[in-house]
Every structure is written in structure tokens, then in C-alpha cells.
Copies of this chain bind each other. A is one copy, B any other.
Amino acid sequence: MAQQSLPGGPLHVIGKRGPNIDAVERVTGRAKYTGDIELPNMLVARVLRSPHAHARIVKIDSSRAEAMPGVRAVITYKDSPKVMIWGHRQYALNEHVRFSGEAVAAVAAVDDETADKALTRIDVQYEPLSFVLDPEEALKPGAPQLFSDGNLEGQPRILTRGNIEQGFAECDKVIERVYRCPTMWSGSMEPRACIAQWEGDKLTVWASTQSPFRVHGSLAAQFNLPDGNVRIIASYVGGGFGTKSAPHTDEILASLLARKARLPVKLQYTREEEILDSNTRFETKMYVKVGAKRDGTLHALHVKAYINQGAYHTRLGGLGNQATHVYRTPHVRTEQYRVHTNIPNTGPTRGVGDPQETFGIESAMDELAHELGMDPMEFRLQNVKRSGDPIARGGSGTEDGRVMSQVLDKCLEEGARRIGWNRRNPVPGDGQSGPLARGIGVACTERGGGGGIGGATVKVNLDGSAHVYYSSTDIGTGSRTTLAMIASEVLGIPLSTFRTTAGDTEVAPYDGGSQGNRTLQGTGRAVEAAARDALQQILASASPMLNNAPPADLEIRDSVVRVKADPSRNVKLAEVMQRRGRSVVGDGQTTQPQVGMDVERTTGAHFVEVEVDRETGKFRILKYIAAHDLGRPINVTVVENQIEGGTIQGLALTQAEELRFDPRTGGCLTASFIDLKPPTALDFDPRVVEPVIIPNEGILGPYGAKGLGENPCHPGMAAVANAIYNAIGVRLREVPFTRARILHALGEQRPAASRTA
């Protein structure tokens, strides 16, 4: 990639390729994840879970467990603070349990065996209640009620633009379809783990979290502690994908047990617990009605979605309405019904509701184009928003007149060129003989890269080496690397001399956390500010060593402070720092530059070529182009990794990872890898994914970067459905696209042909 430059001059660090700076630590096992941490005299905790999907605890007796040698503490709902968990309608432990797998008691003991055995000696008498698993059923009169005010969570979320009735009346073509995504697994390689330790009234929790300060807030509220009495540490996190973005039960249980036992307690979920009691991707049933003018101009869009929230989770769920913002559409109405049912908690998972929503919208756009007799690419190019169009939440730029750049059209054009769009079947399902049929499909994505409140500290040591401190975490996205690169670029200090401290609420200032495309844009902006603060201090210290050249005339390059106009006048940074004798501490605290406007749009278009076996119903991916507009890439390798990883995560949903529940008991039937069947490297060769970076520059993020983490996960389901349609002429409106579903759809489509054969 050519060296990038900014008005201030060429860039030296940003825009290059390079491995993550913590790669060696991670792959050698040196990086200490929460589960690796051992404290002296630490107890292990285990959790007793409800076998009922809906029940009331009539009696719970833990005395036999408590009497066991080696058991140090047992807690039940009686010990739980009567404070709702952040973003949930539940206490840490509840008398009224609402899903099969819900925690009802927890034990801390000297070892796993003792703790496991103690669970069997907690006597619980339940009164089972009738339960409901389907969100539409849950809204019907007479349905089992999870909460006294009904199963609907809050008010329906309604978004309107224009006049939807008038819009449809003015359309020449209108289609109505229903698209379904089931509850889907979203866990990480590292199951939840936490360690709680009390020192007097100070609580320290090592947690596997994306948002240390959210957990901090949760525990401060649960235990009514001042901010300074809670410290959350999450140095390394083994994947998060949204499921670790919200505070959870486990940190509270461990803290309660540790307080009762007066010893540190580690609570580490098993894989089964991780699947059952995490925030999985929520089930969505979308009723989509969309209409256009005869010339292909998109005119009206109505989405009605039922979202299965699960038992308790309330915040951070729902569709983001991102997909509805991809196109210029004068008349829009979206309605979301977020419904509580007796399945485990759901919540944000990479893209939150965007992959589900994108599946519906981008499938419907394909169907509408087909009905209009148009090429789906041309239809999209005709309707997609361009720079200067109003963005989702309001205007099209900042107060000072800068326009938010959107190059989704260029993503479409470049993606089409690379996939060879002209190779697709002009008539879906036609032109290929034999059992194997090929087809090509496309889908778009668009999402805000949340900035919000950022905080970071950049320290320069007396030998000129540097350190970045931030409380967000690197959940595998490479943020340690990209954030250090930003500081390195600003300061002119080589990246190799940087160290980083991530995920510590006591050491770093408040920061919004690592979710929602925000770390790079939000925390990154704070790192840039902190580094600029540090730079000013260094240049001021260097000035007297360079004949009092004004600091504004100085720069640092490769750890040498020099006069910009005459680089031969210079002094080593290490000498400046030695002479200065004091560390440099740069403070970066940033907020959104303008309400509603900090969210810059990250876009992309995915193109996929599939091969479908008409006889077995199996499909495979032959080629995949993931073209994205992410502003300026900070590290090209990191960006490509993010695109590949997100794309494969999105594609996994086309095949497997459905969480299924037993309609007779409400119990989860797929609480293991054997049953969930997450794809492995044998199922998807990552090399088929070709990440493409469409050149662009944002206006709000550090050095023009935008957040990217979520988007690559969005378009996969729709792009594959569209490609399958192009290959075999059948439309799949429910994921995953199992062999049975494909064969069934083929059977329905051509019953006559089958019979003549």
C-alpha cells in the first residue's frame, strides 16, 4: 500500500501492515486471561441452575451443602442484592426463575470436586409454571406471563420517515415477505470467567469483559460502593463479540461468594454454561413490505419485527435500523416488538440485530429487483445513499460543514468487478446442467461507528519509551496495536518501544468500552488527544535544548526531536527526557464532537459465489469478496483480519449455530459444540474470503479511521441467500440454510419437473 499522507505531512506508522503487538504473548500462552490468574487461597465457585424454564422456588435449603468440609460459602436468592443487574430485569439470583439454566444458587469451595458435590446437596423445591418460547405466542392473550406488566419489553420501537401509507399507494410494485432468524450462538472461545477479591470494602474483580467500566458500574450499584472502591481488570479477553459487553450475573455471584467466604473466588463457566447463560444472538421474525416505482426507485419500506429477548435482558437488544438506512427511501416505518420469553437471555452479538435485519432487508431488495426485472446490482446502485445524503440520525456532516463520506457505491462497483458479476446467471437457476449449480449474490451493510466518551493516558518514560493506558479491552480486534500505532504516529516514537495497559478501571480513565464499532473511533480519539498532549510537553522541554526554537517549529521523528525546517538541528528524545527528568503524562478525554453526529457510517458490500448441490442440498462458498469502507485503515493487516473474521462469523450462521429448545420442557437442546456445530476450518477455508479496502477518509475518527468490527458480520446470510437464489432459483427466507431446507425448497419449486423426470 502506498504511503499515506495527511495535510500535516506523510504518515509514518499508520496505514502500514504489521502483526498485532501482543501476538507473541497470546500465541505462546504468556498472556494471562482471567482463567489463568491464580490468587493464594482462592476458592472455586460453581452454580446450581434451574431445570425448569419457568418456576417459582417454594423452598431452598442449603444447610447440607454448607455443612460439607471444604465448602466456604453458599448463596441463594436470599443473599442476592435487590438491585436489578445493569440492563436486565433480574436480580443476580431470583426467587422466580424464568429460563431453564438460570442460576438459583452458588457455592464456593476449596476445589472443583467439593463445589460440584455441594451443588447436589442444595435442596430446591420448585413450583413449575407454564412457559412460552415463541415471541408472537408470548404476546397473545392467555400466554404465560414472565412479568406482572406483561411480556412486551417497554414500548414498541417505532421509526418513521415520510408517510408509509401514501408511499405504498404511490408504488408501482410492492412485495411482502417474512424472514426468520433463530436464536443463535454467539459465544467466544473463552467462556466467561471472573475472580472477585474483597479487601475491606474494596472490591477487585478480574473479569472477562469488553467493557470494564460497565461492570464497574454494575458492581458499584449492586454493592452500593463508591466508584473508587471498585476495580475491574480485564487485561486479556478471549473474544467477546458483544456477549461480554454487558454486565452479567457471574461477576455478582463471585463477589457475593467472596464477601461471604472472606476469600477470593474464581467463577469460570463451563462451555455448557457459556452457551446457556450468556447473551446469545436473538431470534427475529421480520415482516418486510417494500415497494418501488417502475423505474426502480425505492419508495416505501415497512418492517415489523418480533424479537425474542429471552428472559431478562433489556438493553442493547433490538434492531439498530441500520439496514433501513442503506438506501434513499422517502417513506419508511419500522416497528420492533421486543418480547420476553422463557429462553435464556439474549443480547448484543456482533452487529446486535444488524445481521438479522440485513438478512431480511437485503433479501427483500433482491426479491423486489427480481419482480421489477432489474439487475439487483443496478437496483442497489440506483438507490444507495451517497456522500452528502442525510445519514441515519440527522444531517449529513458536522457543524463546521465537513461532509461525512460514504462510498458504499464504490464498494458495490469494486466488489462486482472482483467477483465477476457478469458471470452470474441472467435467469436465476438457469443455464447450468447437472447436480451442481453456481450462483452469485450481493448484500450491503451500513452501520455507525460509535465514538462516545473516550479516555486514555499516554506516558513517555525517562528513556523515551512510551506506554498507552486505556480501560477498554482488546477482545481480539487488535486495538492494543492500533491504539499504540496512533500514539506512535503522533509522537514519532517507534511502535516497538510502546507498552500497553488495557482494561483496568483503576489505572486508566473512564472510557465507553469495546463494542459497537467504537474502540478505534472513541478510545482512539482519546489516545490521539493524549499523545498530542504528551507531544506538546516534550516539545516544550526540547525547545531550550534547540536554541529555544519555538515548540511549534519542532517535530519528533524516530525518537529524535528536530527542527522541522532544519532536521540537522536535533536532539535525541532520550536526552530530552533525561534532561527534563520527569515523566510525560498525556491526558486524553474526549466526548462526542456533536450530539447525534459522532456516529460515522461504516459501509460495505459483500459478494459471494456459491455452488449448490441440487441432489444433497449442500452448498459451498467458492469465492467471497468483502469490500468495505472503513475510512483510513490504521493497520492494514489488522483490518483484513477483522474483515475475514467477521465475514466467517456471519457465514457460520448460514449453516449452523442455531440454539434449539425442547418445546416440551423449554430446555436447550444444543448446549454443546457437538450439537451447535460451529463451523471449523474444515467447513470454511478462510482463504476464500478476499478483504477489500475501498480508499476513503472519515472526518471524525483518529486520522480519518472509522470503526469496523461489526459490519463484516452483517451481509453474509443475505448474500448467500441471494447467491443460492441465483444458482438454483429458490428463495430461502429462514436461516440456517440446512440441506433439508434447500431440498424442501427445491421440491416445492419444481414438483411438476420432478414428476416428469
| A interface residues, Cβ below 8 angstroms from B | 24-25, 30, 32, 38-40, 199-200, 202, 220, 226-229, 453-455, 457, 459, 461-463, 465-467, 497-499, 501, 506-507, 509-510, 537, 580-585, 587, 589-591
Taking a contact as CB atoms under 8 Å apart, the answer to whether A591 and B582 are in contact is: yes
Which of these, B455, B497, B507, contacts A507 with CB under 8 Å? B507
Report B-chain residues with C-beta under 8 Å of the C-beta of A581.
453, 510, 591
Taking a contact as CB atoms under 8 Å apart, the answer to whether B227 and A461 are in contact is: yes
Q: Known pairs A40-B40, A455-B583. 10 more at Cβ < 8 A? A: A30-B199, A202-B499, A220-B463, A226-B461, A226-B463, A229-B499, A457-B585, A459-B509, A509-B584, A510-B581
Taking a contact as CB atoms under 8 Å apart, the answer to whether A465 and B226 are in contact is: yes
Total identical chains: 2
Closest 3 CB pairs of A and B: A509-B583, A227-B461, A38-B40
Report B-chain residues with C-beta under 8 Å of the C-beta of A39.
38
Taking a contact as CB atoms under 8 Å apart, the answer to whether A509 and B582 are in contact is: yes
Instruction: Give Cα distance in the complex from A463 to B24, angstroms.
Output: 38
Instruction: Give Cα distance in the complex from A307 to B689, angstroms.
Output: 76
Pairs A–B under 8 Å by Cβ, sample size 30: A25-B199, A32-B199, A38-B39, A38-B40, A40-B40, A220-B463, A226-B461, A226-B463, A226-B465, A226-B497, A227-B461, A227-B463, A228-B465, A228-B466, A228-B497, A229-B465, A453-B581, A453-B582, A454-B582, A455-B582, A455-B583, A455-B585, A462-B510, A509-B582, A509-B583, A510-B581, A510-B582, A510-B583, A580-B591, A587-B587
Instruction: Give Cα distance in the complex from A454 to B581, angstroms.
Output: 9
Interface of A is mostly: mixed
Taking a contact as CB atoms under 8 Å apart, the answer to whether A462 and B585 are in contact is: no
Taking a contact as CB atoms under 8 Å apart, the answer to whether B585 and A587 are in contact is: yes
Closest to A580 in B: B591
Taking a contact as CB atoms under 8 Å apart, the answer to whether B499 and A228 are in contact is: yes
Report B-chain residues with C-beta under 8 Å of the C-beta of A227.
461-463, 465
Closest to A588 in B: B585
Given A200-B30, A457-B585; A506-B510 close (CB under 8 Å):
no
Given A25-B200, A38-B40; A228-B583 close (CB under 8 Å):
no
Given A200-B25, A465-B226, A466-B228; A509-B30 close (CB under 8 Å):
no
Shortest A703–chain B CB gap in Å is 21
Taking a contact as CB atoms under 8 Å apart, the answer to whether B461 and A510 are in contact is: yes
Closest to A471 in B: B583
Shortest A496–chain B CB gap in Å is 9
Shortest A584–chain B CB gap in Å is 7
Shortest A529–chain B CB gap in Å is 11
